[in-house]
Structures are given as C-alpha cells and as structure tokens.
Structure 1
Amino acid sequence: MNNSDEKLFEARIKDLINIAQKNAVKRASNFLDPGEQQMAEYIAGKFPGIGFYFEGGYPEAERRIMIVFPDYLEEQPFVPPLGALRVTPTGDHKHPGHRDYLGAILGLGIAREKTGDLLVGREHCDVILKEEVLEYIGLNLARVGSVPVSVEEISIREISRPNAAFKEVKGTVASMRLDAVASLAFGISRSKIAPYIKGENLRVNFKTVKDPSTPVKEGDVISAARLGRIKVIEVGGQSKKGRTFIKIHKYASK
C-alpha cells in the first residue's frame, strides 16, 4: 500500500468501528489479507472498549474478515456473513489452477475484497465468499478459462480443508532480520538475498519490503517472486553461540 491507500484503509476500518459503537452492534469488514489484518488490529487497538476477531471460514485461512463490536457485546451471538461455493470442472479432465479460478471470478466483476481463500483440489475448488456475492457468482460462473464448470452452494462446514504441501525447514539465524530468515528459508546466501530484497521482490504479510534489516516474527508469511512462499512457524531459544532457533514451513507454489 502507498500512503494514500493506507489512509483510505484506515478510514474504512475506523468507519466500521464507529458504526459498531454508535449502533451497539457487531459489524464485519470485507476480506483482509494478512498485512491488512495487522493494520486493522493496530487501528482497533486505539479504540478503548472495542473488541474484535477475525474469521475466514476455517482456522488456517489467510484471507479473513474482521468482526468489530463494543466489548460488552462479546457474548452476543453473531453469524459471520460468509458463504461458500464449490466449483467443479465438467470438461475433458482439465484441472484449472488457483489463478484460473480466481481470474474467472474476478472476471465477473467481483472485487477481490469480496473473495476469501480458494481451496483448490484435483476434483473441484471451494471458494469462500462474502454472502452478498454468492448468488451472483452461482448464477453467472459457467467457465474457468476454457473449461466448463458447475457451481453449487455448500455450507462453510463442508469446505475441503487444505492439505498444504510444504517442506519443514529448521535451523538457526544470527538475528530475526528478513535477510537472515529468507536466506535460511530459500537456501540463498545473505549476500545474494539482500539485493533481491532491495529490488522489491519480497513481501512480508503481503506488503512489499525492500529493507533487508526488516524484523520478522513468528507467524509472518514471506512471499518471494520466483522463489515461493514460507511461513515462520516457531521462534525458539538461542544456541550456545547466540543464534536463534527457528522452524519454517516452505510451501509448494500454487
């Protein structure tokens, strides 16, 4: 995000919180990526008496909506405005990928912020969406690329939970700097990964970062152009030489 985008995003989150306060209700945002979730959490933290949580349809969801409310309403029931569609190819044993399914949905004029995670399997793709766009997509999505598809509404409980393919990487780093963590994760020397970062090829929690010294913490997702995506799963203690133990999941490209 540039500065103007960040200001617009901040204004939207503040408006969401103000409406929840004024009307004494729980309110839900559109889908946020992990970087936006961090920003939204920081903004909400400035409002005394406001509670919030994130919901993406399943525990490991990357894209999630934010539900905000006056904290005295914490125990009040609330059904997140989420739904799901199952998109199944019906032609010639072709298997579209994540980008194909997303492109077909966005090609209908649906904003990315209305779409959550797409869980792509060999037989079908389950798409988590804001409720308000379910009917439109269900009625209008007929093809994914050149492949004809059928679409049916399913409950959130019926979605096919992902079995993300990943390689576990364990090791130690001199510090929790981006260049050190990325060097271990992607198997590239720090001297080579530093200019790669400065060239704006890495994103931390979906935000482009160009400073190799940027701090990384447990739970951060790092995406690198042409290299893949990793998540910092655990930051442990220190070795006798003062290096930090970390555990990383390196995911297969979609």
Structure 2
Amino acid sequence: MNKNEFLNSIFSEDKLTLSNIFDKINLAIKIRKTVYTNEFYTPDICNGLCRLANSLGIQIMQYGIFENSERNMLAFSEQEVDYFPVGLIKIENKSKFNNLTHRDYLGAIMSIGINRNKFGDLIVVDNSCFVAVSKDILSYIIDNLSSIGKCSCNIYELEPVSYNIPKIKFEEFTIIVSSLRLDCLVSSICNISRSKAVELISRGNIFLNYTLEKEKDYDVAFGTTITIRGYGKYKLIGDIGVTAKNRIKVLIKKFV
C-alpha cells in the first residue's frame, strides 16, 4: 500500500498526522523492530489503522492506560508488545473550597506548552485528576505544573497498576428525538432550541468522533462520540424503544 492509498483509507482531516504515522509503520517494517508513536490518537485514527493492519503487513496495537480509553498511543510491530512509553500522573487539588473540572485540568496542562496529542484521557475523581501522558514529557509536566487556575496542586507519577487506575465515568440519560439528525440530537442533548442547535453546528462547535461536522441534517450512527463545545462530550449508545408518537428513545452517556 502506497502513501496515497493509505491516506485515503482512513477518514481523518489530519493528513499530516496520517503521513507521519505511515512513515513510522514503514520504519517498523524496514528495521523489523517495534516503533511507537509518541502521541495519542483519537478513535477515528486508531480504529482506522487497526482495520488496515493485515493490508499493511504489521501488527498495530493501541494503549491509553485506562480501560476503554478514548485516546491511545500506537505501536507497530511484528509481534505483540507488553510495554508502551506511557506514564500515569496524578494531580491533586490542594484547595478545599474550589472544585475543579475536566476542562480546568486540561487547560492547565496545555497552558504550560503541552500539545493536546502528547497526553491521553483525563479522569477526574473527587479532588484529583489522573492523566495518561507520553513518557517524554512526564517530567516536564511534573516540574512545571504547580497550580490549576488559582488552586495550588500536588502532582506526581503513579505506577500504572490496576489499583491505581480509575475507570472512566459516565452519566447516563435518555433523550427522545424524531430522528438521528445532528440538529435533533444536539437540541435534545443540550436542552436547547433547534435553532440554537443549528447555530452551534454552523459555528463549528460540534465534533463527531473528533472530526468537525457542520451539516445539520447529518445522520449520526450509534456508537458515535459527540463533542459539543461548551456542553461536554457524549456517547450515542443506542435505541431503547419508541414512544406512542413513534419518536425514538435514545440512550446517551456523558463523559464526566
């Protein structure tokens, strides 16, 4: 498979990232050794790559520390690997008066110059946040992150063993929609008018499986991750029935 065929086989707008991944795959095949990415990738890229593994003639494995992690580091190898250059850090909010959210921790890490692809999922538990990070920037984060907003914090590395790793949490709820059109779903998920939902879509505030979507009448498939800027990230789980008026009951999970 040549590079153009590879780029056209994975649905992602980030062709530069895909091109760099293709080069790493070819390097692993050439030197016959395991090659890792040093970044984390979203499901659209990870799942697309794994589907191409047989065609590429190499094993493609992904790892993000957390069970069912959304963002994962990749390894390209002739055989199974049991090591990834991924570390786990814990950030403890020292303030007893201010609760911090996922957005607060995410913004604080990026504010010290860390690219979003250099760390994976963040899980907030009580007054702490657990973050999967690339080993090459782990020490930099520990040395340079001293506060989250106005809240001072403690930060340190954890061994990624089962008792240290929290599970990704969701809040489940049900919506009722006339169809799985994007504008219908956004309106119901956010509890806003259809016109407001269309406005969010047209402004580029909606991402499906981490890819921008600006078509209000796009039919969204079950299993899709919907990110709505200003509202949160959601998973469209499935159809759980219909109402007497033949409207669809849909189960939604919100990442918390």
Rounded Cα–Cα distance in structure 1 between residues aligned with 2:133 and 2:222: 28
| Corresponding residue to 2:31 among 16, 23, 33 | 23
Q: Which residue of 2 aligns with 1:95?
A: 99
- Deviation of 1:235 (Å): 4.8
| Corresponding residue to 2:174 among 154, 169, 176 | 169
Please list, as runs of the form range in 1=range in 2, the aligned pairs for 1:160-199 lying within 5 A after superposition.
160-164=166-170, 166-169=171-174, 171=176, 173-174=178-179, 176-187=180-191, 193-199=197-203
Normalising by structure 2, report the TM-score. 0.77
Residue identity matched to 1:22? K
**Are 1:9 and 2:17 matched, yes or no?**
yes
CA RMSD of aligned residues (A): 3.2
Q: Which residue of 2 aligns with 1:209?
A: 213
Q: Which residue of 1 aligns with 2:234?
A: 230
- Deviation of 1:237 (Å): 8.6
Please list, as runs of the form range in 1=range in 2, the aligned pairs for 1:1-254 lying within 5 A after superposition.
6-29=14-37, 30-38=39-47, 40-41=49-50, 44=52, 47-70=55-78, 73=79, 76-91=80-95, 93-157=97-161, 158-164=164-170, 166-169=171-174, 171=176, 173-174=178-179, 176-187=180-191, 193-235=197-239, 246-251=250-255
- Deviation of 1:101 (Å): 2.2
Q: Residues 169 and 250 of structure 1 are in contact (CA less than 8 Å); yes or no, is this contact kept in structure 2?
A: no
- Deviation of 1:49 (Å): 1.8
User: Secondary structure at the residue paired with 1:156?
Assistant: coil
Rounded Cα–Cα distance in structure 2 between residues aligned with 1:36 and 1:183: 28
Normalising by structure 1, report the TM-score. 0.77
Unaligned runs of 5+ in 1: none
Residue identity matched to 2:70? E
Unaligned runs of 5+ in 2: 1-11
Number of aligned positions between the proteins: 242
Cα distance per residue 1:122-172 (max 9 Å; x no partner)? 2222121111222222233222233222222112221332433x2321556
Shift in CA distance, 45/195, structure 1 to aligned 2, threshold 3 Å: farther
Identical positions, percent: 28
